[in-house]
Amino acid sequence: MIVVAKIGTSSVTSADGSVDEAAVSKLCADVAGLRAIGHRVVVVTSGAVTAGVAALRPPGGRPADSATLQALSAIGQHRLMRVYDEGFAREGLLAGQVLLAPLDFGERRQYLHARATLLRLLELGVVPVVNENDAVADDEIRFGDNDRLAALVANLLGAGVLVLLTDTAGLFTGDPRTDDEASLVEEVTAIDAELERAAGGPGSPGGSGGMASKLAAARMASWSGVRAVIAAARREDVLKEAVAGAQGVGTTIAPRARTIGARKLWIAFALPAAGRVLVDEGARRALVEREASLLAAGVVSVEGDFSLDDAVEIAGPDGAVFAKGLARLGSAQAARWVGRKSADLPTELTREVVHRDDLVVLVGARSTARN
């Protein structure tokens, strides 16, 4: 089985921002334990920017501008990899650095190249250590956090399990730091808005994720047919227990029976929506029941300012979002032709507001959690 293990900034760096060698060594030993029983493991790691801040110590602390953050990631990335190299060497293993960008998942040719590289590394007995290519990432098109990147890697490789390692034991019914009655949610069969609200907001100051992003990544994994586990990085034998499905290891999110591919996964859960298209009941049924394209005739109104190929949410008559896709018309054009039949549109104008090849229906799953 292929296992993808993602570790967050707060779990891989020390209080001063430097790479926590003991934490990395523990992870490397956990990976070696899985390798010893026949599993292949890919590590997705955060921490490059924070390690860069610790090395450079810029005046005023961690900066906010993207150019400086990208420079800091370039400083921190090789420091991070040095610790991984040494940690895996102590276990008799080799690490291979792989830096990925959204283009590697959005375009078929790049997708196949990325998969071939990772699979070949695994065949050679190497442990791929993956991070986003932060130093040259386009602010307009990036993963946003490594939780989502890990979910996309799990989809890319057809992994059996995605383990999201963090500094808490999993998802709780409330904030365990302030709520004495908060309890661990051990099992989730699907994810809805109520559960997402329980996940709260962003996590540590040095990271870009938090429990909400881990839950979003787990949802992505679920839609890929991959079981996801959110667990504490410091837990003894955490990877072995997560793969084995041990009770109490953390929060386990079950895979869906019906899955989607990497490109639609990216559209559904990783691309920010630039606008919203409201449709009538007939169009809603056509999209949900017949997997049809969204035509102008079914559009009631358009919200936001979006362009060709921007992601848009699609909402029904009740205002509830039930689908998401890439727009084939900009918002100005779409608004102009709202409700018009295809025969009434100019011949040079595309008939689809969102084509079915670029559309993902998001309804059909309710959340069930077990404490």
For 33-92, write each residue's pLDDT tens digit: 999 999 999 999 999 999 999 999 998 888 888 889 889 999 999 999 999 999 999 999
pLDDT band at 142 (very low <50, low <70, confident <90, very high): low
Confidence of residue 368 (pLDDT cuts 50, 70, 90): very low
Exposure pattern of 15-41 as b/e (b: 16+ CB <10 Å)? eebbbbeebbbbbbebbbbbbeeebbb
Place of tokens 């939780």: 147
Contact call for residues 55 and 75 (beta carbons, < 8 A): yes
Q: Which position has the token pair 């899955």?
A: 259
Which two tokens mark 214?
């881990």
Q: What is the DSSP letter of 98?
A: E
Share above pLDDT 90 across residues of the chain, in percent, rounded to a whole number: 59
**Rounded to an integer, what distance in angstroms lies between the CA atom of residue 215 and that of residue 253?**
9
User: Does the pLDDT of residue 220 top 60, yes or no?
Assistant: yes
User: 243: exposed, middle or buried (C-beta count within 10 Å: 0-12, 13-18, 19+)?
Assistant: buried
Helices (H), the chain: 9-12, 21-36, 48-56, 66-90, 103-106, 108-123, 146-157, 193-199, 211-223, 238-244, 262-269, 281-289, 331-336
pLDDT band for position 207 (cuts 50, 70, 90)? very low
Q: Higher pLDDT residue, 263 or 2?
A: 2
Q: What is the pLDDT of residue 34?
A: 97
Widest CA span in the chain: 70
CATH number at residue 38: 3.40.1160.10
Same domain, 66 and 143: yes
Mean pLDDT to the nearest integer, 331-336: 90
Query: Does the residue 368 lie in any domain?
Result: no
What was the pLDDT predicted at 211? 78
Which one-letter DSSP state was computed for residue 190? S
In a shared domain, residues 144 and 282: no
Non-local CB neighbours of 322 within 8 Å, separated by 6+ positions: 284, 287, 288, 314, 315, 316, 361, 362, 363
Q: Are residues 174 and 310 in the same domain?
A: no
Whether 23 has a pLDDT exceeding 50, the answer reads yes
Looking at this protein, which amino acid is placed at residue 243? V
Q: How confident is the model at residue 370 (pLDDT cuts 50, 70, 90)?
A: very low
pLDDT bin (cut points 50, 70, 90) of residue 311 is: very high
Q: Are residues 83 and 148 in the same domain?
A: yes
Indicate whether 370 belongs to any domain. no
> For the domain that residue 299 is a member of, what is the CATH number?
2.30.130.10
Look at residue 139 and tell me whether its pLDDT is greater than 70: no
pLDDT at 371: 44
Contact 301/268 with Cβ under 8 angstroms?
A: no
Handedness of CA 12, 227, 245, 86 (dihedral sign): negative
**Average pLDDT score over residue span 243-262:** 89
127 with 47, same domain: the answer is yes
In sequence order, the β-bridge partners of residue 311 are: 326
* pLDDT value of residue 190: 66
Would you state the pLDDT for residue 18? 95
What is the mean predicted confidence (pLDDT) over 170-189?
Answer: 81
Q: What are phi and psi of 29, to 5 degrees?
A: -65, -40
* Between residues 101 and 279, the one the model is more confident about: 279
Residue 144 has pLDDT above 80, yes or no: no
Which is more confidently placed, 177 or 140?
177
**284 and 254 housed in the same domain:** no
Say if residue 192's pLDDT is above 80: no
CA geometry: angle at 206 spanning 201 and 212, to 5°? Answer: 20
Per the structure, how many domains does the chain have? 2
> What is the average pLDDT score of the chain?
87
Q: Are residue 93 and residue 220 in the same domain, yes or no?
A: yes
pLDDT of residue 48: 93
Look at residue 291 and tell me if it is in a domain.
Answer: yes
- For residues 253 and 340, membership in a common domain is answered with no
CA distance 239 to 231: 9
Does pLDDT of 134 surpass 60?
yes
Spatial distance between the Cα atoms of 55 and 69, rounded to a whole number of angstroms: 13
Question: In which band, very low, low, confident or very high, does the pLDDT at 140 lie, cut at 50, 70 and 90?
Answer: very low
pLDDT tens figures, 80-94:
999 999 999 999 999
* Mean pLDDT (whole number) for 294-321: 94
Q: Which domain holds residue 334?
A: 272-361
Distance linking the first and last C-alpha atoms of the chain: 28
